[in-house]
Each structure stands twice: as structure tokens, then as C-alpha cells.
Structure 1
């Protein structure tokens, strides 16, 4: 039998925040730099399944800061990018927060602890903190580049549970990537695959998690 759920831990991109398809960003960077989309796709992959990690993956776990990430990426490009252009392209990936999801989180927060655990990077994290209001709902917020681990690494889930002062089984991840859901479950968490808000509401209710009394 599953533990009672103390913490609902939300992924951000694809769940709370609309994100531009990676192919669109890669295509635009390829056009600007006259670089093969395939080469850029390899440099910017974000799966955390194969080592050595890509440039983007190392950026997401804080192994590269913004300046070093920019320099490392430029070494793969035919025409280098100015840092302001790269930052702008990264920020353009974040299309906005989903009002219905933020409203659901606010309702859930009346009865449950709410946190986030996001595979992100310093540019995206800063932009979200400056422009999105869902942070007001969160009791705790965990970013991969700040804790040094990204989903589905079990060490990331262990870090978050410990920081929350919760048993792993009392934490539930809500994520749109099956690999992260599987990683959470392997780490002893409960987890739900996010497809849409209606399905999420039904799945939460099936686990005894409701947004209203």
C-alpha cells in the first residue's frame, strides 16, 4: 500500500509551462549559425541517458555556467553566436505558464504541500522567476542546475525528498516524461505521467488527492 502523499512535486516544462518544441529552437539556431541541425541536436540533447553528457545536459546540472556553456556551444558552430542572441533564443523557448494548471496548483495548495523539481538551466530559471507567477504557489522549488542532479537520476530525487524532510514514498512527482516518472518510482517516490489537466485531476483523485474539500 502506498504511503499518504505529503508533497506534490511538479515538473515545469510541459506541465506548468508551455515550451517551444526543441526542433524549432534547433532549427532557428542552425539557420543563424549555418550549422547542421543534427550537430546542434546532439550538442543540445537533454535526455540524461547517455554519458558523456551533452553541452546542454552539463549546463542543466550546473557543471557549466552561462559563459562556459556559451563558449562550448560556439566551438561546435560554423558561425558563433553572441551571448545576447543565445540568451534570447533560450528565453523564447518558454511560451508562458498555463493558467489552468496554476489555478489547480493553488487549489491543491489549500490541502497539500506543493513543490517543483525541474530539469532546467540558469537562463530558463532566471526568466521563469522574473516572469511567471506560479512560484507564489510553491513552498519549495528545486532546479537541476542548483542541486547538481537532473531527473531521472535517483540522487536528484533523494536530494529533494531529504530537503523536504519527507519519506520518498510520501512524495509524488507529476511529470510529462515517462523516463522521469520511471526514475521517480525507482527512487521510491510515487509518480504520475502528465498528459492533460483533466487526466491529471482524475489520476490525483484516484490517489486520494483532491483540490477541494
Structure 2
């Protein structure tokens, strides 16, 4: 038990609450567009396209249109969502831990993603959608991606919490450090067992 007060637990989604397989996503989209996996990887990440969408610089229509142009094959929203869904598997252990927190504090998610993910979470990630409902925030909503301070601070403000009473959990060290630099309490996720011990140490379980 510590003297730290935690009133909000802010989770990263992929890598913490769910497993994310980028290769599966690439293979799925490559098959639906008749493109090589290498072309898909470059179009989404190598070009910086997804990073711009995640930061809210471009909207979903521009994102899909640009992706289709780069692949020389139209990419519909349904095709994109199907590939994204195939890449996601719930982490049942961490979701179970999150379920135990409901009686002790507020919970939310801050994920580096575009609105296509959060707007269609009921299809993409039903387990997380059932657990968190409307308390899932995309970086695109705040005009910046983690680890930029703006992403954390605007999210916490939107929720109505205090940075110093917000425990942020992420599997990427840079994102955890970004949260700490922004005044949040940061914790680097490794597995559900160590996370449970951290919750117990903080008096949340």
C-alpha cells in the first residue's frame, strides 16, 4: 500500500488489454487488395499514412482514399475493418483484472489509433467494448499521439480527472515515460501477474 491516490486507471489498449498481430493485418489486407505484403506495410506505416491518421491530421475518408491510391486498389471501410479485426485478440487475463477495478476507481483507454478503430470498437474488439463502453479515446481525438504530453493531458481533461491521480499503463517504455513527463503516474506493462501486484500495491485491489 502506498500514499499515492489513484482515481483513474488509463489503459493502453493493444499490447495490454489485447494482443495485436500486425502481420495478420497485413496478410489480410494484402489478400483483399491483391497487393504484396511489402506494399501494404509501406503504404500503412512506411509512408507515415497511419501515423497521420492516428494524430488526427487526416480523417478516415482521406486515410482510406490515400491508402487505396497507394495500393492502386480501392480500400473500402469494410475491408479495412475486417483486416483490423483479424489482428486483434483479447488478453483475457488483463481484461479480468480491469473488471476487478470497477468498484475502486474509474477506468478508461487511451490508444494511438484513428477514429476508425474507436468508432467501430463493437465490431473490432467486442470484449473491450463491453468492458469500457464510451470510455475509449483515440489519439486522433486529441491531435497528437503518445508519447506527446498533449495526448495524455487532453484525454485526462476530457474524462474530468487529475493527471497526478491517473495511473497510465502501456507496454511501450517511451509512452510510459511520456505519461510521467506529463504529470501522470506511469507503469510499464509486462504481464497480468505483475500488473495485479502493482494494483495491490496501490490499494486498488
TM-score (norm 1): 0.80
> What is the match of residue 94 of structure 2?
101
> What is the match of residue 64 of structure 2?
70
* Residues in 2 aligned to 1:3 and 1:18: alpha-carbon distance in whole angstroms: 30
Give runs of aligned pairs for residues 48-197 of structure 1, distance below 5 A.
54-77=48-71, 79-83=72-76, 84-95=78-89, 97-130=90-123, 132-138=126-132, 140-197=135-192
What secondary structure sits across from 1:192 in the alignment? strand
* Structure 1 unpaired stretches of 5+: 47-52
What secondary structure sits across from 1:76 in the alignment? helix
* Residues in 2 aligned to 1:135 and 1:91: alpha-carbon distance in whole angstroms: 13
* Structure 2 unpaired stretches of 5+: none
Q: 1:102-160: CA deviations, max 9, x gaps? A: 22112111111211111122332233234524345447332222232221110011112
Distance 1:210 1:3, change over 3 A: closer
The number of residues matched between the two structures is: 200
Distance 1:2 1:167, change over 3 A: farther
Higher fraction of helix: 2
How well do the aligned residues superpose, as a CA RMSD in angstroms?
2.6
* Residues in 2 aligned to 1:169 and 1:89: alpha-carbon distance in whole angstroms: 37
Residue 184 of structure 1 deviates from its aligned partner by: 0.5
* Residues in 1 aligned to 2:177 and 2:122: alpha-carbon distance in whole angstroms: 28
Residue 34 of structure 1 deviates from its aligned partner by: 3.3
What secondary structure sits across from 1:198 in the alignment? helix
TM-score (norm 2): 0.83
